[in-house]
């Protein structure tokens, strides 16, 4: 059957590598190729894909051009028939910007007649007004961030307008810094793209607009009005029409599957694509990650890596300086919430190592740690600990450790203690408090129709405060996510993921998945769904399509919701608020 021959590609242009993943029409991964920047393109002399000068971090754009040719070359060399690819989308590291000259569009279009050359040789000499792209790890825009917040009345106002308070890495402050440092460079810049529409522009062989969801990572986009904010734009350029033109305003709206065009003849002639292979807007990596799983409103995704990141889908726009909100790339009238923590696996590993050391072990086995976390005879009901070997974002604090004991009756702090009975208690307490922190901070993001559970009369008047906002405790007992999806290294660890699932308390199901492909796979799903809608084969919304066609067998449904276990942690919320107040 014709349909059986259809392939879809999803790119992931991340900090350290360019990946290109292929799926077939059954959503099965059939091929993958990767270019690792530091290893395979060593002549750029990057460290893990970036240049680092004090607090400035940037990537060479030319390296990305070489990587794009190289990844397609690898596909061809593997015998993969790129002629069967119907559509391409993908993901890119967020916030980075690329600066193009007036000649760029002509040079991109001239690629069609230059398939015997490389992208680098056609574009590098004259298409870019700056050969670098600021990276999300950059920390050099402190003064610009201050200006952004001042302009709109403070961090809260900026978050309310753009979905986030000012962040060093966000594109608005980064462009403002570029203009200040290099006014001639800005003058020579005709167009500024994000990394996402840099990649789609190369694939299309013409400059294509920003993608709206990724544009929410700029501190420039008014989320409610779906347009750039004049005040924020004016910080970059008093002539706001000028900067607006450079940003190719307006961005492509989400979640409409808008086809940006067909793939450039350069790739058709050089690598064997069909001329009608369609390119769909590429989005940011976190946004693509939520498209890689069948997440719907009030579902959450917890990434248990070096740091912990919580992503969730909500139809409730409740912005705050403590987290991020982006327009959802594929689900209408929904947003992606993102909460970032610094302390994740490193903090847990510290306790694991101490525990092993105390038992005379020198290895890094998780056995003792796991046993302690799940042990019924280690009682932590009246204990709570915060373990921040690194400074933390939420709650905002410098590196610190704090342990408290609770009064068994009131469940309020009875005393601060230097340590617990033994390190096994720390193992249990660190996982419990990390999970409890996620649970508390997810709450304000969930939509108002999330499940309402029973309210007990004794908590109606109790107020708790987290990250500067005070709410009745009962509010925290009202809402629960529907489903929780756990990914990242520690999702393999039964005890950690089980405890997280128990404390967070998703009401329908808990799944886990160990995949290095989330971002690229989200791109593949965006490509296939967009293409099927645009060509009139389906008219399902993205979430309906993915729910029906997702390969559920690849997920591990591991812990069935347990109301009682969830309720147990209700009793610790007030103490957690008091403990954080001590920081």
* Residue with smaller CB distance to ligand XUL, 137 or 189: 137
* Residue with smaller CB distance to ligand XUL, 234 or 396: 396
Strand 283-284, strand 85-92: pairing: parallel
CB 348 within 8 A of CB 377: no
* Residue with smaller CB distance to ligand XUL, 171 or 437: 171
Residue bearing tokens 């709570």: 384
* Residue with smaller CB distance to ligand XUL, 393 or 513: 393
* Residue with smaller CB distance to ligand XUL, 15 or 314: 15
Helical packing angle, 345-358 and 367-374, nearest 10°: 100
* Residue with smaller CB distance to ligand XUL, 25 or 144: 144
Q: Is 179 left (phi over 0), alpha (psi -120 to 50) or beta?
A: alpha
Shortest CB 205 distance to ligand XUL, Å: 26
Q: Would you count residue 93 as binding ligand XUL (CB under 6 A)? A: yes
* Site size toward ligand XUL, by CB under 6 A: 11
Collapsing DSSP to helix, strand or coil, 119 comes out as: helix
d(CA 155, CA 321): 6
Q: Which of 470, 477, 499 is nearest to 486 (CA)?
A: 499
Shortest CB 534 distance to ligand XUL, Å: 27
Stretch of 69-77, 176-184, 282-290, 357-365 lying at the interface with ligand XUL (CB under 6 A): 282-290
Q: Would you count residue 95 as binding ligand XUL (CB under 6 A)? A: yes
d(CA 59, CA 52): 9
Spell out the SS3 assignment of 453-516.
CCCCHHHCCCEEEECCEEEEHHHHCCCCCCEEEEECHHHHCHHHHHHHHHHHCCCCEEEECCCC
Stretch of 146-154, 171-179, 284-292, 525-533 lying at the interface with ligand XUL (CB under 6 A): 284-292
Considering only residues 396 through 425, tell me which ones interact with ligand XUL, judged by CB under 6 A. Answer: none
The only residue of 240, 286, 380, 577 in contact with ligand XUL, by rule CB under 6 A: 286
Shortest CB 280 distance to ligand XUL, Å: 20
CB 339 within 8 A of CB 394: yes
* Residue with smaller CB distance to ligand XUL, 140 or 577: 140
Stretch of 278-286, 341-349, 378-386, 457-465 lying at the interface with ligand XUL (CB under 6 A): 278-286
Residue 220 has phi, psi (to 5 degrees) of -125, -20
Q: Would you count residue 262 as binding ligand XUL (CB under 6 A)? A: no
Shortest CB 95 distance to ligand XUL, Å: 5
Strand 85-92, strand 7-13: pairing: parallel
Cα 110–chain centre separation: 35
Residue 278 has phi, psi (to 5 degrees) of -95, 145
* Residue with smaller CB distance to ligand XUL, 285 or 370: 285
Shortest CB 302 distance to ligand XUL, Å: 15
Q: Would you count residue 303 as binding ligand XUL (CB under 6 A)? A: no
d(CA 562, CA 522): 30
Token duo for residue 218:
């700029």
Considering only residues 200 through 239, tell me which ones interact with ligand XUL, judged by CB under 6 A. Answer: 217
* Residue with smaller CB distance to ligand XUL, 16 or 118: 16
Contacts of 136 (CB under 8 A, 6+ apart): 15, 57, 93, 94, 95, 96, 169
Q: Would you count residue 169 as binding ligand XUL (CB under 6 A)? A: yes
Count of CB atoms within 10 A of residue 159's CB? 22
CB 416 within 8 A of CB 582: yes
Q: Would you count residue 285 as binding ligand XUL (CB under 6 A)? A: yes
Shortest CB 14 distance to ligand XUL, Å: 5
Q: Would you count residue 14 as binding ligand XUL (CB under 6 A)? A: yes
* Residue with smaller CB distance to ligand XUL, 339 or 503: 339
Stretch of 90-98, 207-215, 344-352, 395-403 lying at the interface with ligand XUL (CB under 6 A): 90-98
Shortest CB 185 distance to ligand XUL, Å: 24
The only residue of 136, 341, 511, 566 in contact with ligand XUL, by rule CB under 6 A: 136
Residue 189 has phi, psi (to 5 degrees) of -85, 120
Stretch of 57-65, 87-95, 465-473, 481-489 lying at the interface with ligand XUL (CB under 6 A): 87-95
Shortest CB 91 distance to ligand XUL, Å: 9
Residue 517 has phi, psi (to 5 degrees) of -110, 5
Stretch of 62-70, 106-114, 119-127, 283-291 lying at the interface with ligand XUL (CB under 6 A): 283-291
The only residue of 8, 9, 15, 133 in contact with ligand XUL, by rule CB under 6 A: 15
What is the largest distance, in Å, between two alpha-carbon atoms of the chain? Answer: 78
* Residue with smaller CB distance to ligand XUL, 280 or 323: 323
Query: How many angstroms separate the Cα of 345 from the Cα of each of 11, 306, 501?
Result: 28, 5, 16
* Residue with smaller CB distance to ligand XUL, 164 or 474: 164
CB 530 within 8 A of CB 541: no
The only residue of 94, 160, 174, 303 in contact with ligand XUL, by rule CB under 6 A: 94
Ranges assigned E (strand) in 243-376? 261-262, 278-279, 283-284, 300-304, 308-314, 324-327, 335-340
Stretch of 88-96, 260-268, 422-430, 572-580 lying at the interface with ligand XUL (CB under 6 A): 88-96
* Residue with smaller CB distance to ligand XUL, 85 or 98: 98
CB 89 within 8 A of CB 10: yes
Query: Where on the chain is the footprint of ligand XUL (CB under 6 A)?
Result: 14-15, 93-95, 136, 169, 217, 284-286
């Amino acid at each position: 059957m014709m349909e059986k021959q259809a392939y879809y590609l999803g790119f992931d242009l991340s900090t350290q590598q360019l990946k290109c993943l292929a799926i077939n029409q059954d959503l099965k991964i059939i091929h993958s190729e990767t270019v690792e920047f530091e290893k395979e393109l060593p002549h750029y002399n990057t460290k893990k894909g970036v240049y680092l000068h004090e607090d400035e971090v940037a990537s060479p754009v030319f390296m990305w051009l070489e990587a794009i040719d190289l990844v397609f070359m690898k596909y061809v060399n593997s015998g993969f028939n790129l002629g069967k690819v119907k559509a391409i989308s993908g993901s890119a590291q967020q916030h980075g910007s690329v600066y193009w000259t007036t000649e760029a569009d002509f040079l991109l279009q001239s690629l069609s007649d230059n398939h015997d050359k490389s992208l680098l040789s056609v574009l590098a000499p004259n298409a870019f007004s700056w050969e670098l792209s600021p990276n999300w790890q950059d920390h050099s825009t402190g003064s610009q961030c201050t200006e952004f917040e001042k302009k709109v009345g403070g961090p809260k106002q900026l978050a309310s307008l753009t979905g986030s308070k000012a962040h060093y890495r966000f594109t608005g402050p980064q462009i403002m810094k570029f203009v200040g440092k290099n006014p001639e460079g800005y003058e020579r810049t005709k167009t500024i793209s994000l990394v996402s529409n840099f990649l789609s522009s190369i694939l299309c062989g013409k400059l294509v607009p920003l993608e709206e969801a990724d544009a929410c990572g700029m501190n420039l986009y008014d989320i409610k009005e779906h347009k750039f904010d004049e005040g924020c734009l004016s910080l970059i350029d008093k002539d706001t029409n000028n900067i607006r033109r450079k940003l190719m305003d307006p961005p492509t709206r989400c979640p409409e599957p808008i086809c940006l065009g067909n793939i450039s003849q350069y790739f058709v002639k050089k690598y064997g694509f069909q001329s009608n292979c369609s390119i769909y807007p590429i989005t940011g990596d976190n946004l693509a990650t939520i498209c890689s799983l069948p997440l719907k409103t009030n579902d959450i995704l917890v990434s248990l890596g070096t740091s912990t990141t919580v992503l969730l889908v909500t139809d409730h726009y409740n912005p705050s300086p403590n987290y991020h909100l982006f327009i959802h790339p594929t689900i209408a009238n929904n947003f992606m919430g993102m909460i970032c923590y610094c302390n994740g696996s490193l903090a847990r590993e510290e306790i694991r190592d101490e525990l092993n050391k105390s038992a005379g072990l020198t290895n890094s086995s998780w056995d003792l740690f796991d046993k302690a976390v799940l042990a019924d005879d280690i009682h932590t009901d009246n204990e709570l600990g915060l373990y921040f070997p690194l400074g933390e974002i939420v709650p905002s604090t410098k590196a610190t450790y704090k342990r408290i004991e609770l009064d068994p009756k009131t469940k309020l702090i009875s005393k601060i203690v230097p340590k617990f009975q033994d390190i096994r208690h720390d193992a249990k307490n660190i996982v419990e408090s990390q999970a409890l922190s996620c649970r508390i901070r997810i709450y304000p993001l969930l939509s108002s129709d999330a499940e309402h559970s029973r309210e007990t009369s004794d908590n109606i008047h109790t107020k708790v405060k987290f990250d500067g906002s005070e709410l009745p405790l009962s509010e925290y007992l009202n809402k629960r996510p529907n489903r929780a999806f756990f990914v990242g290294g520690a999702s393999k660890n039964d005890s950690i993921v089980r405890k997280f699932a128990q404390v967070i308390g998703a009401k329908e199901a808990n799944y886990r998945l160990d995949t290095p492909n989330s971002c690229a796979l989200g791109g593949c799903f965006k490509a296939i769904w967009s293409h099927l809608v645009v060509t009139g084969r389906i008219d399902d919304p993205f979430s309906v399509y993915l729910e029906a066609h997702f390969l559920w067998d690849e997920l591990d449904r591991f812990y069935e919701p347990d109301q009682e276990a969830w309720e147990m942690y209700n009793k610790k919320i007030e103490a957690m608020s008091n403990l954080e107040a001590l920081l």
